[in-house]
Each structure stands twice: as structure tokens, then as C-alpha cells.
Amino acid sequence: MNGNFLIRTFGCQMNEHDSERIGGMLRADGMTPTDDVADAGVVVLNTCAIRENADNRLYGNLGHLKPLKSRNPDLRIVVAGCLAQKDQGLIQEKAPWVDVVVGTHALPHLLDLLRRAEADGPQMDVAEYTELFPSALPAAREDAFRAWVSIATGCDNACTFCIVPFVRGAQRSRAIGDVLAEVQGLARSGVVEVTLLGQNVNTYGRDLTVPESSRRPLFAELLRRVNEVEGLRRIRFTSPHPHDFTPDVIDAMAESEKVCEHIHFPLQSGADAVLKAMQRSYRRERYLGWLERIRAAIPRIGVSTDIIVGFPGETDRDFADTLDVVERARFDSAYTFQYSPRPGTRAASLPDQLTKDVVQERFDRLVALQERISLEKAGDQVGDEVEVLVEGAGRRGGSTQARTRTNRIVHLADPLEPGTFVTARITGAAAHHLAGEVVPAAVPA
């Protein structure tokens, strides 16, 4: 196809990764990316279903596209991602001007679907299969120096609040050799940082039949193998689940020099009763115990988390328990969410759904507490000299945004080439970023 395409991505890194593949397929087909919707022949909305406002945003966006489509009937509108998988036929019922609905498993069929839409009108593929990992499709990556690598899709857990198992299916791990081959290829093409992606990386490999492994999780082994890839400098991964976390993963992290000192470790709630109702099998003390072990093995590791406020039945006591764990865990950062009932999940039909006011008030208190801790933890870093990877231009002219191995953003005053490593001295701290200056490389005597 000729012309321009525009992709809007909502949601998590899994979706960002899928969008790179959508862009890759469209480019391979002869199209060019554009930022201007008026200029686009194909508009793709890659949707997320995890929280409430995702639905509203999709239908809002589709509303805005309707007059464009009336003016230009050749415009092709595609809805992809988790909401496509969840809402299926409802999307074209509500917005008949959508040309293609492509579910999470059917991504490799996108170009065919567009062609068929051309000839036969609106198309939908939400079949429940994954023939190909999205990583096997061509990619149009945003940056030449870093890449996401999918190691598993889907999730075998059944957290009662979560829609992911419904829209992404059961866990399917990618063969270790395939992951390694992709990372090696990326490193050869100049990528210095990879982020390994899975809903629950600890159970990676459980569904693979590997001789002599008897369904043993293989994540620690995968980390060690990726660590050996030449040319690569940084390895990140997201996310582990505290339930399946194992000491061999801590050892592999500590002993693999390319694995960054950062872990995203979703807490969800600090109250045992709520964790139980969420069907998260760990409890608060066990969670804190894991954190202690991780920090003992990897001193000064950056820790981020996810927390949901206002799960059905959450009492004032329960919420106080969450604040208490947050106080004790001292996260560097937290993604905080107000509970939103997702249709079809167990939690959506629980009694005791809380009112918006109660949830908002608790949410504000949690955010204020975490902001204080984030700022204190950032302040601890002032004076440090650390390696940072330059990611791109900063907000002020001539400035640069870089990232520490511990996943903190550092603003530098100098213009630097994205993808390069420099040493930065930390000179200032805010809750969500650091300020730094470049330490000139020592001149050999």
C-alpha cells in the first residue's frame, strides 16, 4: 500500500512492542509514518483494556476520526490491541466507520485484513491463536539503541481484578534460542539495551518442553544467557510476580553485570485480606522479605511497584496496611491506580464496591506518601557519579535526557548523542527525575 500511516498507542510496554511491529509491517508494505492525522491513509489505534478510561478514550478517539472518514472514504481505520480482543464486534457496531478490528493474537494478519477491507468492506479477526510471536514480525523501532524483546505472551495467573488473561490468553513462552537469536541480531545492529517482556517473567519457560527440565522455569537461565551477548550493555525485564519469585533469579541478576540494578515488583496491596481477595498468593511480610533479600544481594537497586487503591471490600484498616508497607518498602517510584471493575473479572461482581470519594481520598494520601519517599530516595543520590545512557533531547533547548541503570531519569545540560554512555555527577533531585552534569572522561596519561 502507498501513503502514510499513524499509530496511537495506549497502555503498557507490551502494546508499545506490538505497535513497533504494526509500524514495521506497514513500512515493509511501502507506507511511511506521519504525525499528522489529516495526512494519514491508515490510522491505527492500539488499545488497552486494563483500566476504565481506556474504553472512553477509544470511543472518544473514534468519534474524532468519523468526520475525517466521511471526508476521505479511502482512509482506513484500524483498532488493534486488548480492547479489540475484548470488545470484538461491539467496536464496529458502535463505530461502523472502523475498517479493521485486529485482536492481540491476529496481528500477523494485519496487512491481509487491510487488503480485504479494501475489496470487501469492514473486517475483524479476533481468533484465539498465536502463530507467530510479535517479535518475529518486522519492526519499526523508535530508537536504534534500545529494543523490547518479547519472551512470553499471556498469563496463567488469575488475579481477580485483571483482564489480561482474558485478552492475551494463557502463557506461551518463546524458545530460549529464538530469544537469544533476536537479541544477538539486535546487538549486531547497534542496540545496547534490551528489555525482556512478559506478563510474569518468573514463569518464563514453564510451558516449554525442554529436555531434562520438567517444566522448570527458565528465567534465571535466560538472564545469564542474554548477559553473554556481545555488544549489549544493559538488560532490563518486566515484570516479575512476587508469587513466583525465586532466589535463582536474584543470583542471576546479581551475577550478570549487564542486568540493570532495577526491579519492577508489583505489590498491588499491603493488606493480607485484600491480597487474598485479589488471588495474589503472597502476603505482606513475604513481599517485604523478598525485597530485603533482593536489596541484600544488589545494594542500591532501584525498586518500582504497582499499587491498586479501592479494591472491593478494602477497609480503612486494609488501606492503612498498604500505607505501612509503602513506608517500609521505600520504593523509588510507584504506579498507583484506582481500582476499576473490568467486565468479566471476578472482582467486578464482588459486593462492597467502594465509592469514588473514598477511593479518591485514599489515593491522594498514597500518592502524597510515595512522592515524599521518591523525593527522599532521589535526594540520597546527590553527589553520586553514575553511568547514564543518553535517550534523547530534554525539555529545554540543548539539554539531554538520560537514564541510570537504576531506572532514574537524569537531565543533563549538554546536547549529547542518543545511545551514548557518559558518566554523570548527580547535582539535584526531584521526585521523578535527577539533575546531573557530565563528568569528563579521564585522559589516559
Of 195-224, binders to ligand SF4 (CB under 6 A) are 199-200
- Which of 77, 80, 159, 301 contacts ligand SF4 by CB under 6 A? 159
Size of site (CB under 6 A) for ligand SF4:
9
Contact 268, 296 (CB under 8 A): no
CB of 86 to ligand 5AD, least distance (A): 12
Question: Does residue 298 touch ligand SF4 according to CB under 6 A?
Answer: no
Return d(Cα 388, Cα 435) in angstroms, integer. Answer: 12
Bridging pattern class, strands 302-309 and 262-264: parallel
Give the containing element (helix H, strand E) for 94: helix 89-94
> Would the CA dihedral through 357, 358, 359, 361 be positive or negative?
positive
Question: Does residue 379 touch ligand SF4 according to CB under 6 A?
Answer: no
| Residues in Cβ contact with 164 at an 8 Å cutoff, skipping those fewer than 6 apart | 50, 82, 154, 155, 199
Q: Which does 51 bind (CB under 5 to 8 A by kind): ligand SF4, ligand 5AD, none?
A: ligand 5AD
Taking phi over 0 as left and psi of -120 to 50 as alpha, with beta for the rest, 11 belongs to left
**Edge-to-edge strand ranges of the sheet holding 333-338:** 262-264, 302-309, 333-338
By C-beta, is 162 or 402 nearer to ligand SF4?
Answer: 162
Q: Which does 199 bind (CB under 5 to 8 A by kind): ligand SF4, ligand 5AD, none?
A: ligand SF4
Contact 5, 39 (CB under 8 A): no
- Which of 133, 245, 339, 363 contacts ligand 5AD by CB under 6 A? 339
CB of 15 to ligand 5AD, least distance (A): 11
Question: Does residue 166 touch ligand 5AD according to CB under 6 A?
Answer: no
Q: Which does 165 bind (CB under 5 to 8 A by kind): ligand 5AD, ligand SF4, none?
A: ligand SF4
Give the containing element (helix H, strand E) for 9: strand 4-9
Only one of the segments 60-68, 185-193, 336-344, 417-425 lies at the binding site for ligand 5AD (rule: CB under 6 A); that segment is 336-344
- Which of 78, 164, 191, 196 contacts ligand SF4 by CB under 6 A? 164
With CA atoms as reference, report the closest residue to 201 among 161, 254, 148, 163.
148
Q: Say how many Å lie between the first and final Cα of the chain, rounded.
A: 58
- Which of 26, 50, 62, 294 contacts ligand 5AD by CB under 6 A? 50
Question: Does residue 162 touch ligand SF4 according to CB under 6 A?
Answer: yes
- In the complex, the residues that contact ligand 5AD under the rule CB under 6 A are 50-51, 161-162, 266, 268, 306, 308, 337, 339-340, 342
- In the complex, the residues that contact ligand SF4 under the rule CB under 6 A are 155, 157, 159, 162, 164-165, 199-200, 241
